[in-house]
Structure 1
Amino acid sequence: MAPNTKTHLGLTHFLLFFLSILTIPSLLLSDSIPTVYEILPQFGLPSGLLPDSVVNYTSSDDGRFVVFLANPCYVQFEYLVYYDKTITGKLSNGSITGLKGIQVQRFFLWLDVDEIRVDLPPSDSIYFQVGLINKKLDLGQFKTVHSCRDKVTGTCAKRIFEITRECGFFELVNHKLCEHDKRVADHLRKWHESLMAEARQCETIVEVEVGKVKVEMEKEVDKVKAEARRCETIVEVEVGKVKVEMGKKADKVKEKMEKQVGKTKAEMDNEIAQYRKEIENGEIKFQVMNMNYLTMLVGSWILFAFYVFFFRYTSKNQHGRRIGRMMLS
């Protein structure tokens, strides 16, 4: 029996379609989870801060992370840097704080790197906080991811680096001196922790005292405000009293002025009436005097005319007779 070609082709297409469906979720999953080297630039940090041997990492919403390396290893930057197998810290914009698992070598001593940060806005510098020392380095050497060496070249060199990373160069000179240095370092660490605890305690005390002062100041402010309101009320009452007193005085003055004006008006009316009477009396007297004057004038003319008439008839003077006729005419 001949094989069915169409059946085989249909089965082949179905298998290819099924395999493509199975591979799609894995592709989407790989695209949806960024690598640690992609996360660092999102926070303004160079991706070369971690070596190429990262196998896994975990992170939380508050920025805390845990990075797992294949093995402890070394990377040579400006200084030799040691990476532990597990690295922890807290990632924020432009910085990594609370860092554990990274050390830097300085003068045969291995020092813990507590914090790494960059400038915002970005610059060409990066800063490593090592204890109380803040070391400024060139940012360019951390832009690319470096290969991590799991050992130092040479048996002697490896032994020196391993010893100095734990104790320092003094382990090679004197073991007792190295132990002493360890005790001194431990004592300094405890002293540092004690100072930090005292600083936190002092900070708490200062915050409490500041809170007390703030409460006392708020109480004083409330007292001042209450006193101001009381004074304002007293001023308003006193102003009201003054207004009432001034109103009373103004009424008295007004009443007094009205009386004075009434009295003055009455006196003026009396004087005007008196003047009118005097004027009327003066007019009557003037009329009487005018009449008396006219009477005297007429009488004088009559007497004069009589005299002239008499002179006319008694005197033989022709001139006198003319005067008498003129007067009578």
Structure 2
Amino acid sequence: MADKEGGIVKKGHDEGLKMAVSLLEEFGLPLGLLPLADVIEVGFVRSTGYMWIQQEKKVEHYFKMISKFVSYNAEITGFVDKKRIKKLKGVKAKELMLWPPVSEITVDDPPTGKIHFKSLAGITKTFPVEAFAAGQ
């Protein structure tokens, strides 16, 4: 796949998770944003910002502070930039009985303590950044 050309790839859960967390840190995103399990591979192409994550199976995570379930597919892709992830695929947040796909995640810059999740339908939900701190 051309998107992955020139990418840095880490295989296995420990190495993959370490890389995913360091990318979140580098781009000013909350470290608990991607609660991954059984990672197979994480890759990143610095020239384009393209990131991909493969895990063994879909993961559902409950963020207690905001009482929200978020679903992470076995494959997650997106373009990471300062304080944002664009063209995100493979992440859905539960709203009532629906699971709308999340297409973009943005952290306010300058910081206001807010993070915004935009769905493909154009709906944006805003939450406190600390709800996605590591270990939440």
Output the TM-score relative to the length of structure 2.
Answer: 0.78
For the Cα contact (< 8 Å) 2:36–2:59, is it kept in 1?
no
- Structure ranking higher in helix proportion: 1
Count of residue pairs brought into register by the alignment:
115
CA distance in 1, matches of 2:34, 2:75: 12
Identical columns (%): 30
Deviation at 1:91, TM superposition (A): 0.4
For the Cα contact (< 8 Å) 1:68–1:87, is it kept in 2?
yes
Residue 120 of structure 1 aligns with which residue? Answer: 109
Q: Which runs of 5+ in 2 are unaligned?
A: 1-13
Residue 168 of structure 1 aligns with which residue? Answer: none
CA distance in 2, matches of 1:35, 1:58: 8
Structure whose alpha-carbon radius of gyration is higher: 1
- Of 129-138 and 93-102, more deviation after overlay is shown by 129-138
For the Cα contact (< 8 Å) 1:49–1:145, is it kept in 2?
no
Residue 122 of structure 2 aligns with which residue? Answer: 132
Deviation at 1:123, TM superposition (A): 2.4
Distance of aligned partners of 1:145 and 1:52 in 2 relative to their CA distance in 1, 3 Å threshold: farther
- Structure ranking higher in strand proportion: 2
Q: Per the alignment, in what secondary structure is the counterpart of residue 35 of structure 1?
A: helix
CA distance in 1, matches of 2:131, 2:42: 23
CA distance in 2, matches of 1:93, 1:35: 16
Q: Which runs of 5+ in 1 are unaligned?
A: 1-29, 147-329
Residue 46 of structure 1 aligns with which residue? Answer: 30
For the Cα contact (< 8 Å) 1:66–1:88, is it kept in 2?
yes
Residue 220 of structure 1 aligns with which residue? Answer: none
CA RMSD of aligned residues (A): 1.9
CA distance in 2, matches of 1:63, 1:93: 10
CA distance in 2, matches of 1:102, 1:126: 15
CA distance in 2, matches of 1:48, 1:55: 19
2:133 counterpart letter in structure 1: K
CA distance in 2, matches of 1:50, 1:139: 13
Residue 83 of structure 2 aligns with which residue? Answer: 94
Query: How do 1:226-305 and structure 2 match up within 5 A?
Result: none
1:63 aligns with 2:64: no
- Determine which structure has greater relative contact order: mean sequence separation of CA pairs < 8 Å that are 6+ residues apart, divided by chain length: 2
2:113 counterpart letter in structure 1: D
Output the TM-score relative to the length of structure 1.
Answer: 0.33
Question: After the TM superposition, which segments of 4 or more aligned residues of structure 1 sit over 4 Å from their partners?
Answer: none
